Amino acid sequence: MDIQVKPVYKTIVITLLLLGSIAMCIPFVWMILASFKPESEVVALTPKFWPQQATLENYVRLFTEMRFATYLWNTLVIVFFSFIGLFLNAAAGYAFAKFEFPGRNVLYYLVLGTMMIPSQVTMIPVYLLLNQMNLTNTMAGIVLPGMVNAFGIFLFRQFMTTIPADLIEAARLDGASELRTFFQLVIPIAKPIFAVQGILTFIGGWNSFLWPLIIANDENLYTLSVGLSLLKGQYGGDFAIQMAGASFMVVPIVILFIFMQRHIIEGYTISGMK
């Protein structure tokens, strides 16, 4: 290997990546800095990088002028139900992986087929269905349409086919019920895939936007993202409060992600992507 060229080459790679990282980071950095600036600094024609008179005022206004406490609560409720959905996905994935039953393949292909359906096609009919079930403007109506997803079932099934059948048979012979086998044997074995799916479920629930937007017409049911879009509409020129709202949504997820990123990134290797 050409030893003299190598450091130069590596420097070029790192420089390119550094320049790109700045482009990736600037929106976040600028958002967080602006969220601590008073209004006058945010709309200054010659902006300073650091806040000159740092303030928490913008964050306080989220809770006094807007109802971010309500939005946060609703978002957490959605996250909670998404986790129930996660277990339902796991149960279905387990059944498709480890049981023989009539109609298994047909049903599994139908499940996979739903991945192809664009949300724009189902959007209107689902709204009409929920309206028929008197579920518009209810939490159930917001949560149900996105509670389970075919991709999650697919990933669980992929992982669970690798669990040895003997192990499950042994649990059954020991007299464990099917439900107990699932909760006490299968779920612990499937921990790695639960970690990945758990983080993605949390992020998905936290960010959920479309169904709350369509189904909730009452501010009591707004989620953080719907509230934030309301904020964007109402406080069009007031960027300080907008940046505080955005930071409030983004920073928790970024922190969670930094701690858990190894699991997410490895998750793609689990899914068998070559």
Partner 1 sequence: MQNALQKLNKYKYPYLFIAPTLIILFLFSFIPIFIAIFISFTNMNLSGLADFSNIKFNGFDNFVRLFSDATFQKSMFNTLIFVVVGVPSVVLISMAIAILINQGTSWLFKSFRVIYYMPSITNIVAVAVIWGYLYNSQYGLINQMLGFIGIDPVSWLQDPVIAKFSLIIMAVWKAIGLNMIIFLAALQGIPRTYYEAAQIDGASRWEQLTKITVPLLSFATFFVSITTLIGWIQFFEEPLVMTKGGPINSTMSMALFIYNTGFQRNNFGYAAAGSIVLFAIIILVTMIQFKVRKKDSDVEY
Q: Which of residues 191-250 bind partner 1 (CB under 8 A)?
A: 203, 206-207, 209-210, 214, 224-226, 228-229, 231-232, 239, 242-243, 245-246, 249-250
How far apart, in whole angstroms, are the C-alpha atoms of residue 211 and residue 228?
15
How far apart, in whole angstroms, are the C-alpha atoms of residue 173 and residue 106?
30
**Nearest approach, Cβ of residue 64 and partner 1 (Å):** 19
**Nearest approach, Cβ of residue 218 and partner 1 (Å):** 16
Please identify, using beta-carbon distances, which residue of 56 and 268 lies nearer to partner 1: 268
| Member of 8, 10, 56, 191 binding partner 1 (CB under 8 A) | 10
Please identify, using beta-carbon distances, which residue of 92 and 221 lies nearer to partner 1: 92
Which of 113, 191, 198 lies closest to 159 in space, CA to CA? 191
Please identify, using beta-carbon distances, which residue of 76 and 265 lies nearer to partner 1: 265
**Nearest approach, Cβ of residue 235 and partner 1 (Å):** 10
| Member of 119, 134, 161, 220 binding partner 1 (CB under 8 A) | 119
Residue that is written with structure tokens 């940046």 in the block: 243
Q: Is 23 in the site for partner 1 (CB under 8 A)?
A: yes
Q: How many residues bind partner 1 (CB under 8 A)?
A: 93
How far apart, in whole angstroms, are the C-alpha atoms of residue 75 and residue 222?
8
Ranges within 138-167 binding partner 1 (CB under 8 A): 144-145, 147-148, 150, 153
Pair 79, 202: CB distance under 8 Å: yes
Pair 213, 182: CB distance under 8 Å: no
Ranges within 245-274 binding partner 1 (CB under 8 A): 245-246, 249-250, 253-254, 257-258, 261, 264-265, 268-269, 273-274
Q: Phi and psi (nearest 5°) for 204? A: -60, -45
Structure-block tokens of residue 22: 């700045």
Interaction mask 70-99, partner 1, x per CB under 8 A: ------------------xx-xx-xxx--x
Span of 38-46, 59-67, 162-170, 189-197 interacting with partner 1 by CB under 8 A: 38-46
Round the CA-based radius of gyration of the chain to a whole number and report it.
24
Span of 21-29, 58-66, 162-170, 190-198 interacting with partner 1 by CB under 8 A: 21-29
How far apart, in whole angstroms, are the C-alpha atoms of residue 98 and residue 94?
6
Pair 31, 246: CB distance under 8 Å: yes
Structure-block tokens of residue 174: 């020991």
Pair 196, 270: CB distance under 8 Å: yes
**Nearest approach, Cβ of residue 88 and partner 1 (Å):** 5
Residue that is written with structure tokens 């009919």 in the block: 125
